Amino acid sequence: MASIREFGWRQPIVVDANRVVIAARTRMLATQQLGLETVPVHVAVGLSDSQVKAYYLTDNCTHEDAEWNDELLTLELVDLV
């Protein structure tokens, strides 16, 4: 919620052709708590059921493979102070 308040919308909620959320569930929950009635949504048309599942799983686990570059992170944080 704080990120949406601070930066606004930068990534849409992604739904399948049946309007089932496949990416950005946390943002969707935040919008409900913020009382927003409309938000950007991308309808991922043309995906098979298997592709929808794979996209959902990928979206929910890509952060597990991510690593911080401590040197660059330090530079960015210094700029914020």
Q: What is the pLDDT of residues 27-44, one digit of tens each?
A: 889 989 999 989 999 999
**CA nearest neighbour of 26 among 50, 59, 49:** 59
Rounded Cα distance, 76 and 53, in Å = 35
Q: What is the pLDDT of residue 62?
A: 66
Structural tokens at position 37: 């009635």
Measure Cα distances from 58 to 3, 7, 29, 46, 55 in Å.
22, 24, 19, 18, 5
Q: What is the pLDDT of residue 58?
A: 86
The mean of the pLDDT values for the chain is: 88
**CA nearest neighbour of 12 among 34, 40, 43:** 40
Q: What is the pLDDT of residue 79?
A: 82
